[in-house]
Amino acid sequence: MIFEMNMLWACILLPMGLVILIKGADWLVDGAVGLAEKFGVSPLVIGLTIVAMGTSAPEVAASIAAAMAGSGDIAIGNVYGSNIANLALVGGICAMIRPIGVKTSMIRREIPVMVLVALLLWPILAPDMELKRFESVAMLVLFAGMIMYTVWAARREGKISPEFNAEIAKELAEHSPHGKRSLNLNTMLTVGGLLALGIGAKLALVGAVYIGDWFGLSEAVIGITILAAGTSLPELITCLVAAIKGHDDLSIGNLVGSNIFNTLLVLGGAGTIRPFGISERLVGTDFWMMITVSVVFMSIIMISKKVGRVSGAILLAIYCGYMGYVIVFTRGI
């Protein structure tokens, strides 16, 4: 840094970095959607890939920045914390505002996949406490395969679902209004978004690490708490709007999809760029807490076919209890 770091600067840099991260993700998605449309990519494919990845872009950037800085615990902790926050914090708050119904197809397919993908981290991380490059590449290949399957399945279902196609069209219109942007402007938005993600991730990481160090938090706890809560803001905003408007599928789909993306895309991308080791706690309590929250979320939906207000309150209580436990009892581990 070109100035002496202190708590004031850290408290400025963290929120500034998060704002730049979120804005950068918006620019990147807007530009990429515009470019894809210019090159004739199917709206369905754009909606299920570029737009769907938009809310996970801050996690990707933050975890890559942490990995490049040699802070593997922050990179992994950010994913664990974001996955837990998505289901327990965001899902809980949204359900308390308005009970969220869930489609049978999502109960059958996406939600079990979310849990299985999270469990996949155990055989990857536990044996040697390290995320290797070939393991990271394999995660990215699996992610690409899942995206291809999702597009194929959506094409099949979209043929008989005008509502599905209308929802995709609406999402695209928000990112590329009327398709009027020029090729140069879309390119500038895409490049600017990537630059903003890099700058925002660096600023947020520096601020979060300084604040965490000041409070005696370990890198794992910094990732699980401060950074994860900040990078989960896009999911919170998106799902709150969807819940208020009654778009249940969009709300739950965003949370479940974001967790799958976090596990495979975020860690796969970070580990491919720079492999890293992790501390023992991240294959212990924190890992199993992420799995527990995922299983509880899945069980609630499978039993009641929705996330009601009581269930939302339970999820929110679990999140608050876990954050309290992490900060009070394991802050320096």
Each residue's pLDDT tens digit, 240-297: 888 787 777 667 888 999 999 999 999 999 999 999 999 999 999 999 999 999 999 9
Q: Output the average pLDDT for the chain.
A: 90
Question: Is residue 142 very low, low, confident or very high in pLDDT (cuts 50, 70, 90)?
Answer: very high
pTM across the whole model? 0.93
Q: What percent of the chain has pLDDT over 90?
A: 71
Q: Which of 10-24, 96-110, 120-134, 314-328 is predicted with the least confidence, judged by mean pLDDT?
A: 96-110
Instruction: Please give the average per-residue pLDDT across 69-78, as a whole number.
Output: 96
Cα 119–chain centre separation: 17
**Residue environment code for 197-229, b if the CB has 16+ CB neighbours within 10 A, otherwise e:** bbbbbbbbbbbbbbbbeeeebbbbbbbbbbbbb
pLDDT in tens, 156-191: 765 555 666 676 777 777 787 655 788 899 999 999
Tell me the range of 35-44, 157-166, 323-332 where mean pLDDT is highest: 323-332
Kindly report the length of the chain: 333
Instruction: Give the integer Cα–Cα distance in Å for 292 and 276.
Output: 25
Instruction: Give the integer Cα–Cα distance in Å for 329 and 332.
Output: 8
Q: Are 290 and 83 in contact (CB under 8 A)?
A: yes
Listed by start position, the domains of the chain span 7-329
Measuring CA to CA, how many Å separate 242 from each of 69, 106, 109, 248? 36, 17, 21, 7
3-state secondary structure (DSSP) of residue 113:
helix
Instruction: Give the integer Cα–Cα distance in Å for 30 and 24.
Output: 10
Per the listing, tokens 């207000």 go with 309
Q: Which of 181-195, 200-214, 235-249 is predicted with the least confidence, judged by mean pLDDT?
A: 235-249
Measuring CA to CA, how many Å separate 86 from each of 64, 169, 243, 302? 20, 25, 14, 18
Instruction: Please give the average per-residue pLDDT across 190-209, as a whole number.
Output: 96
CATH architecture of 7-329: Up-down Bundle (1.20)
Instruction: Please give the average per-residue pLDDT across 221-237, as a whole number.
Output: 94
